[in-house]
A and B are shown apart, each in its own frame.
Chain A
Amino acid sequence: MLKQHLIDPEICIRCNTCEATCTIGAITHDDNNYVVDSSICNACMDCVAPCPTGAIDNWFQVPAAFSLEEQFSWSELPPRPAEEAAPDALDEQAEALIAAAHAGAGGKARAPASASKPRVNLFNRAAPAMAKVVGNIRVTRAESGSDVHHIILDFGATAFPVLEGQSIGVTPPGAAEMRLYSISSARDGERPNTNNLALTVKRVEGGLASNYLCDLPIGATVPVTGPFGATFLMPDDSDTDLVMICTGTGAAPFRGFTERRRRLAQQGRGRLHLFFGARTPEELPYFGPLQKVPAALLDQHLCFSRVPEKPREYVQHRMLAEGPALAALLRKPSTHIYVCGLRGLEAGVEEALEAIGREHGIDWPGLRGQMREQGRYHVETY
């Protein structure tokens, strides 16, 4: 099977923008249609954004490519192969990593209905985007055992459009394997209208990529692939509620979500609800900055499991304590749930939601499937 790029002749207005944009001559036309030559197209996506109609953005999984002659003769696209969602990546390693991370949702993930359309795979390992490190600071207290860095990568003159919740790929020098990191800034940059993005990286003992990133000096250049991920995205509809459950660096996408909503300040009636677990406040990334986020925007539940002389509290404990509020949110058709962090988090969250469901007459397993189908339930764990 191959993924073939096709132009929908019913929607295309033959404006020639795609052909003018394509630098490798993969797009051509006759008097009838504009078509893509599958033997030339390298899925670089350059033609997708400038297309005014959306006709250009069709990817069919086919056993053999449609020829140019066939495409010239069409007045509409052939029947679409069995429905498939937008790809997370066109890179096998990246796709496998994302599939594994999303497995906990219990089925094929879908993007929220009002999410912006993500761009994926704009840069691959053969031709990565070169980013410059413009910030690298530790965001956990020095005395804590957890060394988490906030790293800002600037793309200079290279456009690297991302959405909150997407990831980028980093392959440390000499390594064969790529690692994915969630973006922890908003789509318009660490500061509004800057062409950069932030990562939240925890140093793992012996970890090739995490040590490489945490040790990067300011000014260093990093080859970056991606962006990746087409489902773990936030809804653009700002009337929606987001329940964000995480531990450790699982907070990265939620920092992006929160920042996005903060920048949209006056819009929408939706609220964010954060359940964030760490061992101690000192180990909780961004603990300081979080204190400044207004409660009207973000309802915070920070839970600590290793504070001396206090009982161990995990996120699932706090969720149970907030049972009535969470049940009310589960009943709202505009609520989106996101779980992100270490794989161990999944079971606890699942149990808590089931228990809340039982108490409040909600069939959680059933609702979960329904929410997943509607793009309202998302899991990304590792």
Chain B
Amino acid sequence: MPDGMNVDYDGLIPNNVGLAEDARVKKALETWHPGYIDWWKDMGPEGFQEALVYLRTAVSVDPKGWARFDYVKMPEYKWGILLAPKVENRLIGFGQHKGEPAWQEIPGEYRGMLRRLMVIQGDTEPASVEQQRHLGKTAPSLYDLRNLFQVNVEEGRHLWAMVYLLQKYLGKDGREEAEELLNRRSGNADSPRMLGAFNEATPDWVSFFMFTFFTDRDGKMQLEALAQSGFDPLSRTCRFMLTEEAHHMFVGETGVQRIIERTCEAMKAAGISDPTDVERIRALGVVDLPTLQRKMNLHFSLTLDLFGNEVSTNAANAYNAGMKGRYREDKIEDDHRLLDATYPVLRCIDGQIAQEAVPALSALNMRLRDDYVQDCQGGVNRWNKAIEKAGIQFRLTLPHVAFNRRIGEFSRLHADPEGRVIDAATFAANHDRWLPNADDNLYITGLMKPVDAAGAYAGWIAAPKVGIDNKPGHFEYVKIWN
């Protein structure tokens, strides 16, 4: 096995980057560490710092050591610096430096760009922990509680990953940015997190599952693009983070799926075949499918904003510089320079939605967003399969990319979920039909009651098909000790 796969657990900070021999960075991280723990205690999961949680911890970054499960108190979780194994003689795969050896240090001219990319990525990680900190109080089961905490500790570790890169490769600037990452707060008026969707509250578990499905998936796409980076330490970091990110996708997709299964099951048992018979369905204590559709509309459109402007010179520059590639760049067959290529982009032209061929380099955000939409669609198809299997006439659909946008081309117009351009008054008049309304939120809030008996599930969500680490149904995933 190559070096760098083994994790040093003896020091304060578990790592496979030889931190013990890197006094400068070790000191910087150890100085940062108490602030991180304070942040975790202040802003991490509320009320469960002493609970024993059945968590997965990586003991090495090769597949066999990747997932070790055990009971851990969250503040004692082994947050560490884990990079995917180094690929010898790796070459830069795209942009103007294509074919040159991958960088082990940041070239001077790209410091600013890379700093921005890493800070934006890093900022989302603690933000989602902050957004989700109250959810523990209303978990629908110990299984879900455990999954929430696994997501939280891994987001915490992803912050570590970015902080390591900042401190190791960007010196004083990096150390200052690392401090700032602990100072900003999700939703705070004075020092908010950097991206809009990460300042929205995650008030309930339906939102949490939607967030992990839609918004964490943006994280996955960004990580995939950064995993292609010619700056090798960033690439290796993101490759390892992606393995963890898959768990977050899992929590979101199966969370929504289990809600759907429970709703369909309850409807069938009560002899209700009309999915829009909301009053009767809600009387069963389950989430009606039209409400789920509205939740989807909201989280999908908020997340699309995270991809930034459809046509962007920043994205072009980052690609040209070899810093941020396309989704699975290494699987794409073209020249990987894109100097002469074009890419079709939906734009707002004279107040209408129209497709335009744009230089491919400028359209990279759009391309990543298209890949994202396709990835989402796969999950939605599987949800629909569950509805179909239950024999209920209803299909969940992703709204049009122009619907409910604040950033990019479509922030200048209003569109309905099918992508028809409408005026502001029509949008406002239909707002409560298309997006979660006060009634929906009140109803869902009313459902959020904690269930903390091992093996039991709230009435609005089905049990999972298999347990975590193949555990049986009644396994006590979180031991809540008082």
Binding site for B on A (CB under 8 A): 10-11, 13-17, 20-21, 31, 45-50, 52-55, 57, 75, 113-114, 116-117, 119, 122, 156-161, 188, 193, 195, 237, 264, 267
Contacts and interface: CB of A to CB of B under 8 A. Distances in A.
A53 B249 CA distance: 10
A159 B62 contact: yes
Interface string B31-59: 00000000000000000000010000001
B108 interface: no
A15 B249 contact: yes
Given A17-B246, A159-B59, A117 B65 contact: no
A47 B63 contact: yes
Given A13-B254, A15-B246, A49 B66 contact: yes
Main DSSP-derived SS at the B contact region: mixed
Given A11-B466, A114-B475, A45 B64 contact: yes
A15 B385 CA distance: 18
Interface in B44-99: 52, 59-60, 62-71
B64 A119 contact: yes
Contact of A49 (B64, B250, B382, B466): B64
Given A75-B385, A114-B475, A117-B469, A264 B63 contact: no
A116 B254 contact: no
Contact of B64 (A11, A54, A159): A159
A46 B475 contact: no
Nearest to B386: A10
Contacts of A160: 64
Contact of B470 (A17, A117, A188): A117
Contacts, number: 98
Contact of A10 (B62, B71, B465, B470): B465
B446 interface: no
Given A17-B246, A195-B6, A11 B471 contact: no
A114 B242 CA distance: 29
B10 to A, nearest CB: 7
A52 B246 contact: yes
A10 B71 CA distance: 28
B367 to A, nearest CB: 18
A157 B1 contact: yes
B299 interface: no
The winner among B60, B70, B250, B385 for most chain A CB atoms within 10 A is B250
A88 B272 CA distance: 48
A50 B476 contact: no
Contact of B243 (A10, A50, A195, A264): A50
Contacts of A264: 71
B469 A53 contact: no
B110 interface: no
B247 A157 contact: no
A49 B254 contact: no
A368 to B, nearest CB: 22
Contacts of B378: 14, 31
Nearest to A51: B246
A157 B466 contact: no
A112 to B, nearest CB: 10
Contacts of B243: 17, 21, 50
A75 B381 CA distance: 12
B450 interface: no
B52 A50 contact: no
A50 B67 contact: yes
Nearest to A45: B64
Q: Report, nearest first, the 9 A-B pairs whose CB atoms are least far apart.
A: A159-B65, A46-B63, A15-B246, A157-B6, A52-B247, A159-B64, A49-B67, A52-B250, A193-B9
Given A46-B63, A53-B466, A54-B470, 14 more contacts: A11-B466, A13-B254, A46-B64, A49-B67, A50-B66, A114-B472, A114-B475, A117-B471, A156-B6, A157-B6, A159-B59, A159-B66, A161-B68, A193-B10
